[in-house]
Amino acid sequence: MRTNAGWDMTLLFLFGAAIFFLWPKEETPEVTPEELTELTELHPIVEEKKNELLRRSEEKGINIEIIEGYRTPEEQNNLYEKGRSQQGSVVTNAQGGESYHNYGLAIDFALETEDGEIIWNTEYDGNENGKSDWKEAAEIAKELGFEWGGDWPGLRDYSHLQLETDLSMHELQR
């Protein structure tokens, strides 16, 4: 049987188009009314300290980029699954409601180079003073009352800064 090349191309095109339109799209999360009444941003004190950190770092010629701040408990749970039920390596031991990010009390930072590139290189010395920019930034943050994830025993989180507070996680959850 002779095949008709024109028809073949048409069928191929229709098949491609069908896959394109029927392929599951990424779902946009819906905002529930309850979520709107919850805190959806950084705690004012953290916001203030964050700005102070950016200012003092810049004075030293270090550009910091805030990668993450407030995180919903759902986002936290998704992150928790990374390296567990999901691919990748474990990045957190905190489940939803257990992270300072869920209370607007934590931020994650990285460095921005002169070219505007965001890097996670803790050895980078962009201001060329013989010290790691990352550690200098962490020092400033600690002066401002942040606890640095790089000081944690066990699973260290070099990007992570959280407000030191007398409140326990149990009290925060209440």
Count of alpha carbons within 13 angstroms of residue 112, beta-carbon side: 12
Q: What is the DSSP-derived secondary structure letter of residue 106?
A: E
Cβ at position 99, least distance to Zn ion in Å: 7
Q: Binding of Zn ion at residue 71 (CB under 5 A)?
A: no
Q: Of 49 and 160, which has the nearer Cβ to Zn ion?
A: 160
160 binds Zn ion (CB under 5 A): yes
Which residues are within 8 A (CB) of 50 and not within 5 positions of it... i.e. 6 or more apart? 42, 66, 69, 107
CB of 16: closest distance to Zn ion in angstroms? 42
Phi, psi dihedral angles at 32 (to 5 degrees): -90, 155
Using CB under 5 A as the binding rule, whether residue 49 contacts Zn ion is answered as no
Query: CB 32 → Zn ion: shortest distance, Å?
Result: 24
User: Which CB sits closer to Zn ion, 62 or 105?
Assistant: 105
Single out the residue of 94, 108, 110, 132 in contact with Zn ion (rule: CB under 5 A).
108
Dist. CA 94–CA 123, nearest whole Å? 27
Shortest separation between residue 73's beta carbon and Zn ion, angstroms: 14
* Sign of the dihedral defined by the CA atoms of residues 68, 146, 64, 155, in that order: negative
Burial bucket for residue 162 (CB in 10 Å: 0-12, 13-18, 19+): buried
CB of 115 to Zn ion, least distance (A): 25
Size of the site for Zn ion (CB under 5 A): 2
Residues near Zn ion (CB under 5 A): 108, 160
